[in-house]
Structure 1
Amino acid sequence: MAQGGDWQQDVLRELADGAQDGTPLPSRPAASEAIPGGTAEAIPGGAAPDEAPESIPAAPPVPRQSHDPRVAAPAPESVPTVDPRLAIALGRPQHGDSVARRTGRSLRRLAASAGQEVAEQTRLAQEVQLPVTTGRVVAVTSIRGGVGKSTVSALLGRTFNHYRHDPVLTLEADTALGTLPVRMGAESVRWSCGDLARILTPAMQLTDITGYLVPVSDGGWLLPAGQGRVGAPLDVRTYRTVTLALRRYFAVTVVDCETLPGDVARTAMDTAHARVVVAPMTAEGVNGTRQVLDWLAQLPHSALASTVVALSANSPDTTLDPKAAAAHLREPGVPVVLLPYDRHLAQGGTIHTAMLGKDTRTAAVRLAAEAMHRAVRVR
């Protein structure tokens, strides 16, 4: 495996040069905002694409003036992710765990050794930070909408953003009025996948690319599929153009796909390095997800070996036995990570990692570790 440290330093140097030019850079999260609590130390791990970005002059990104004829057209206007008339109705974010539950956990922590828990968190952090030689793509999809697909994508993006020291991108490949920008905390969106596909050139540097992306508060970047309006769906050609080009700049790209069996979702699942299938904790949801796993097993390459299932509980009153459901999904040989019901996630809106329940934070890191392990080590 090639070493990625030199490439990582080149990327950080590009970002530093961009900051001197006035290009805004996103802030990194503080240690206190770690998922799941900052107990694991960060372990350096660089990412290296097939070749380092060329250091030749490139047209600077909008809003700076460009002489490239492909970007001569007026830039799209920024559009709020949430209608201002609705934003005033958003309630105050609540913590994923109740006060009683947090208090009880604190008392148990005082009475028992936390050594085993810290060791497990450290192991998961090491998996999330695995070094890569080329950009890795993690595709997230589900059998239907409304089961938490975009929520899982946002959790993965934020987890990778926190633990890794190389660039991470969360990309929306679902134009059906997706919620990923809202979940990632973007106040407005401007450039979309389709816009970027028309102006990408091999000469662009990372600082040029990030000028078209939305910086995420916890670190990393977001590329939305659209501006929250009903319009032409994202096509397979545009998806391939964008993902193949951006793998050069980002160590990890989390793709929030459309639901199966859409063409873009099928393409993303077939070409990704790792796949996360979100299954709702209902009988029909688990049954449909099992059918997806059987389909993945029939693909020409070993798609099933690089797949993880996120079993998501969207209600506190679910009656399905989670152990029995997980056992059914594990039969084809895939790992299953239980994402428990979380009041903060159920509330909707921006995900604040510090307000997630402890079990949710732990599950997010475990899911990211399982996906990264398969993206890097499974062939």
Structure 2
Amino acid sequence: MTGGGDWQRDVLRELTDRETRERTDPETRELNDPETRERADPETVAVPGSPVVQAAASGLPDSAPPSAPAPRRAHAPHVPAPAPAPESHPTVDPRLAIALGNPQHGDSAARRAGASLRRLTTSATQEVSEQTRFAEELQHPVTTGRVIAVTSIRGGVGKSTVAALLGRTFNHYRHDPVLTLEADAALGTLPVRMGADSVRWCCADLARILTPAMQLTDITGYLVPVTDGGWLLPASQGRVGAPMDMRTYRTVTLALRRYFAVTVVDCETLPGEVARTAMDTAHARVVVAPMTAEGIHGTRQVLDWLGQLPHSALATTVVALSASSPDTTLDPKTAAAHLREPGVPVVLLPYDRHLAQGGPIHTAMLGRSTRDAAVRLAAEAMRRAVRVR
């Protein structure tokens, strides 16, 4: 009796000690949980004292005891699957792309011949000196990335065209990375003007995955490479959807300034929220004014508003006076003088057949006066962007 009682007491003590260890050991308690066992892989996780798991690990049926205990391995943490990449969408419907036709030169053949003749008969000293000065301003070294915002008082006046011209000009003259960023609503035309065949990642997608540890090579994997160089970040995949919000704009522009020397932002039209934020936070501003009486009047009101801000933005603002028709009757000198009164420079962008045609912009097809105006506009904006604020 005494021996039997001792034997039973020893078994009871052993079972009690094992149960206590299983309750106090957090790893064992987690693995014995039914929900944890359902998620766990029986081939990689072994629970001590569990014949079902040991049988699965050894390849034996549940009723057969294993010849040796299964090795104990650490519980692998659950890692969520990465979000799928967005689909690529063409910037122009393939059914419409065949109707674009061949791009035409900005200047007619007669005008190009006349310009060549004038260059042969006149001195080129002044022209070379001016081009050298503009090139030096465009190549000005920067310690931190500069943001140049482009906006207008209404759509359809050439805002995206001016942003594309600036992006291409900066990329041509600078040897450091240049980004052209679209901050307009959905269905913007900047990707088309920049020559992108398709778009995939947009500002909102990039804002969700940006981290301080990312390198330039990581960032460019989400951007659209431009044919003539540089990079493009569209605002959407070219479909109707929610426009960019202010938080997304701030997140993207503040983060990308580390990687790009110059960022040209194609903003929405004033007085949109993102446009006001971009105008307030940019290092320089370009306001595109159409060559019409109402366009000049509205742009002058914007300039007066900029001059009344607590920190006047007129000192870092340039006006691009854009002519979208060859038959305009408004005197460009009078219009420019009216816009210069607040103290801002005005650069005239003449009518260009290549730009008026729409579609991708080919720099070699631009008229001579258009190329010169784009260089001057970019130099004026860069000069103000590098000023100490």
Please give the TM-score of this superposition, normalised by the length of structure 2. Answer: 0.79
Could you tell me how far 1:300 is from its partner in structure 2? 2.0
Report the Cα distance in structure 2 between the residues aligned to 1:346 and 1:219, rounded to whole angstroms. Answer: 23
Matched, 1:196 2:209: no
Q: Deviations over 1:44-94 (max 9, x none)?
A: xxxxxxxxxxxxxxxxxxxxxxxxx79811100110000000001001100
**Higher normalized helix content (fraction of residues):** 2
Give the one of 194, 216, 219 matched to 1:209.
219
Larger gyration radius, structure 1 or structure 2: 2
Asked whether 1:165 is paired with 2:175, we answer yes
**Paired residue secondary structure (2:347):** strand
CA-atom RMSD in angstroms: 1.0
Paired residues of 1:290 and 1:329 also in contact (CA < 8 A) = yes
State the AA in 2 paired with 1:256: D
The CA deviation at 1:378 is 5.0
> Match for 1:297 among 307, 311, 325?
307
Residue 264 of structure 1 deviates from its aligned partner by 0.2
Per the alignment, residue 25 of structure 2 pairs with none
Match of 1:182 among 174, 188, 192: 192
* Residue 272 of structure 2 is aligned to residue 262 of structure 1: yes
Q: Which runs of 4+ in 1 moved over 3 A?
A: none
Residue matched to 2:45: none
Give 3-state SS (helix, strand or coil) of 1:377's partner. Answer: coil
**Distance between the aligned counterparts of 1:71 and 1:111, measured in 2?**
69
Q: Percent identity?
A: 87
> How far off its partner does 1:176 sit?
3.5
**Alignment partners' CA distance in 2, 1:119 and 1:70:** 60
Give 2:359's aligned residue.
349
After the TM superposition, which residues 1-379 of structure 1 pair with which residues of structure 2 at under 5 Å, given as runs?
72-379=82-389
Q: Could you tell me whether the CA contact under 8 Å between 2:319 and 2:345 is conserved in 1?
A: yes
Distance 2:100 2:262 in 1: 32
Is the 8 Å Cα contact of residues 70 and 198 (structure 1) preserved in structure 2?
no
Work out the number of aligned pairs and report it.
Answer: 311
Q: What is the CA deviation profile of residues 127-157 of structure 1, one whole-angstrom value per residue up to 9, with x for unaligned ones? A: 1111111100000000000000000000000
Contact kept? 2:186, 2:242, Cα under 8 Å: no
Q: Following TM superposition, by how much is the alpha carbon of 1:274 offset from its aligned partner in structure 2, in angstroms?
A: 0.1
Choose 296-305 or 208-217, whichever is displaced more. 296-305
Q: 1:136 to 1:325 in 2, by over 3 A?
A: same
- Mean CA deviation greater in 252-261 or 115-124: 115-124
Q: Secondary structure of 2:196's partner? A: coil
Structure 1 unaligned residues grouped into runs of 5+: 1-68
1:70–1:199 Cα contact (<8 Å) kept: no
How far apart are 1:302 and its partner, in Å?
Answer: 2.9
TM-score (norm 1): 0.81
**1: CA distance, partners of 2:80 / 2:311:** 38
